Chains A and B, each alone.
Chain A
Amino acid sequence: GAVVSQHPSRVICKSGTSVKIECRSLDFQATTMFWYRQFPKQSLMLMATSNEGSKATYEQGVEKDKFLINHASLTLSTLTVTSAHPEDSSFYICSASFQASPLHFGNGTRLTVT
C-alpha cells in the first residue's frame, strides 16, 4: 500500500490565488522530504528539500517566496504555491525516505491555474 500520501490529487485555481499541497508519510517518520515538479514529457525536477524543523533548501532557480515549504512534523510537509499563475500549472510530486530505503513518492498533484 501507499507509504506516502499526497493531497489533493488535482486542483484548479484562479490566477493570483494560493494553493497548498500536503505530503504525509503514512507509516514512517521522514526527517527529509523532497518536492519535485514535472512538466509534460520531461523529467522530475527537484524543487526543494524539506527538513523537519528547519528551513527548506531550494534548488537554483526556484523562488522560495513563491513556493513556500513547511515541514512542521516528521510525517507532514506542505508546499504552498503563492499567487499562482498559469505558468505554475504542472504536476507536483513529493517524496520521503526512511533510513536507507529508496525514496517513496506520493501520487502527485496536478495543478491547473486558470
Chain B
Amino acid sequence: DQQVKQNSPSLSVQEGRISILNCDYTNSMFDYFLWYKKYPAEGPTFLISISSIKDKNEDGRFTVFLNKSAKHLSLHIVPSQPGDSAVYFCAASSSGSARQLTFGSGTQLTVLP
C-alpha cells in the first residue's frame, strides 16, 4: 500500500513556464512533508519542506502547497529552468517516526529550452 503517491511519472515544461508537481498521501499521521531533487546516480538533495501547521512555504523559485483536507501537496517551480530537469520525490514523515521518510515514486521533470 503506497502511502505517498506521485501519479505523474513524468512532466515536460517549457523554460520560463511554471512546473507543478503533485503528490498525494493517505496516512493522516504524516505531519511533515519534504521535496527532494535527484539526479541520476546521486543521492536526493533536499529542496523545500512544509509542516502540517502551514499551507504554504516559499523559497525562491520553489513553493510548496499543502492541502491537508485533500491530503495533497504540490511543488511549484517558477520560472522553470533547464537545470531543474531531474527526478523530484515528495516524502512524508510523522513526528513519532524518528524522522523516517516515506517516499513517493518520483516525477521526472524535463524543462525544455
Residue pair B89, A97 in contact (C-beta under 8 Å): no
Residue pair B41, A44 in contact (C-beta under 8 Å): no
Residue pair A103, B106 in contact (C-beta under 8 Å): no
Report B103 CB to chain A, min CB distance, Å.
4
Q: Which residue of A lies closest to B98 (CB)?
A: A32
B: number of interface residues (CB 8 Å): 21
Residue pair B98, A49 in contact (C-beta under 8 Å): yes
Residue pair A104, B89 in contact (C-beta under 8 Å): no
B105 CB contact (under 8 Å) in A34, A43, A97, A105:
A43
Complexed CA–CA distance, A105 and B101 (Å): 12
- Using a CB-CB cutoff of 8 Å, which residues 27-79 of chain A contact chain B? 32, 34, 36, 41-46, 49
Interface bin, chain A = 20 to 34
Residue pair A110, B41 in contact (C-beta under 8 Å): yes
Segment among B12-20, B42-50, B75-83 that sits at the interface with chain A: B42-50
Besides the contacts A45-B103, A107-B43, A110-B41, what 4 more A-B pairs have beta carbons closer than 8 Å?
A4-B43, A43-B105, A93-B44, A97-B99
> 21 pairs across A/B with beta carbons < 8 Å?
A4-B43, A9-B41, A32-B99, A34-B100, A34-B101, A41-B9, A41-B106, A43-B103, A43-B104, A43-B105, A44-B101, A46-B100, A91-B41, A95-B43, A95-B101, A102-B34, A102-B46, A102-B49, A104-B46, A107-B42, A108-B43
Show the binding face of A for B, using Cβ within 8 Å: 4, 6, 9, 32, 34, 36, 41-46, 49, 91, 93, 95, 97, 102-108, 110
